[in-house]
Amino acid sequence: MTVLVMGNIMMMSDAFYPSVVSLFVVFLIWSLSALRVAYKFHCLNVSEHEPVHRYLRWSAMCYFVSWCIAYFVIMLLCSLIFTYHSFFFNPGTGWSLLCVIASVAGSTGFCCINFFLTARLYFAFEGTYPAIRVTTTTVKRHMVVSFIVTVLFCFLSLSYFVLKEQAEFDIVSYRVTAPIGGLAYILNMVNAVSILYQFTDKLVLFSAESSRNNAHEALAGNLAVAAKHCLLGIIGILCFNVLIPLTFVVYVLMPHNIVTLMTTVFICAMLHTVEMLTLFLGFAFNGKYYRTACYPCDSLCHWLLRKETKRRRHKMQALMSRSRSTSNGMEAAV
């Protein structure tokens, strides 16, 4: 028994420094990104449409700050696990309080990023053609789904950290949490894909209309924006809605010990950081970083969207010609 306990303690000691250092690196990346975004937002001169820009800036900053708090608390929780030399322990209300703070902060950040993406979708096309504008019903639907998914994710994190009193979930706990987790990720994936598709599709449609009106400068700018956000959105959805759930599935199937726990936490944190960087690179003031990191993929995405824009433009011209010929035929008949 003594040998087994000493072996577990040695395994924890071997995993302590890589785990804490890795989480500290993740926390540092989030903090530096938040500071740069806050500084750039402060320096921006947005006199026009100030309420719109203020809402988008505050929702984005809330996302960064919430997850910085969450990762800082997660570092404290991991340190407590190693300090008490126990996979799951019950040191008192302090542990539960930290778990609640981490869960609420992470859920708040998740909700804010979804509200930011939905608001950006609405405000980006607010002053365009009526056929391209996003309706308030669509916005409300996306926000309701985002709020439901946020509540589900908050429940999952709280049930895992606060209600867990033993080293492994029993079968009843898995039967309750697994369907809720699956439902949350499915709803979030459908919502994220829908927002990304609408944003890209409407930009392509607006670009086709601009090119039909010989607004070539607007066409180039719209395609560049569409290619950037389409590429970054696909990477973000792949990380958060595909790779992170797969990591959780692997963790559930593996033996539960301190090494598998910390490995899962680190992999999920890194994937989530990559998702955050897709938002970070999407801001206009980070254009040089985006071009450096994503130039080859951006060129391919830009080429595909240009082909789609040309197809849409030819389709619109054909419809206009058909409508014009039909109108002329009716006038001749009269």
Which pLDDT band holds residue 190 (cuts at 50, 70, 90)?
very high
Residue 185 is encoded by which pair of tokens? 């990720």
**Single pTM value for the model:** 0.82
Closest by Cα among 320, 322, 305 to 224: 305
Cα(89)–Cα(300) distance, integer angstroms: 51
Q: What's residue 8's pLDDT?
A: 41
Cα(209)–Cα(231) distance, integer angstroms: 22
Taking the CB of residue 283, how many other CB atoms lie within 10 A of it?
16
> In this model, does residue 266 exceed pLDDT 60?
yes
Contacts 24+ apart (CB under 8 A), 271-274: 271/239, 271/240, 271/243, 271/244, 271/247, 272/67, 272/239, 272/240, 272/244, 273/26, 273/29, 273/30, 274/235, 274/236, 274/239
Which residue reads 């979804």 in tokens? 114
Cα(275)–Cα(272) distance, integer angstroms: 5
Q: How far is CA 54 from CA 44, 60, 95, 244, 267, in A?
A: 11, 10, 36, 32, 34
Which range has highest mean pLDDT (32-46, 191-205, 267-281)?
267-281
> In this model, does residue 284 exceed pLDDT 60?
yes
Mean pLDDT to the nearest integer, 277-289? 90
Which pLDDT band holds residue 70 (cuts at 50, 70, 90)?
very high
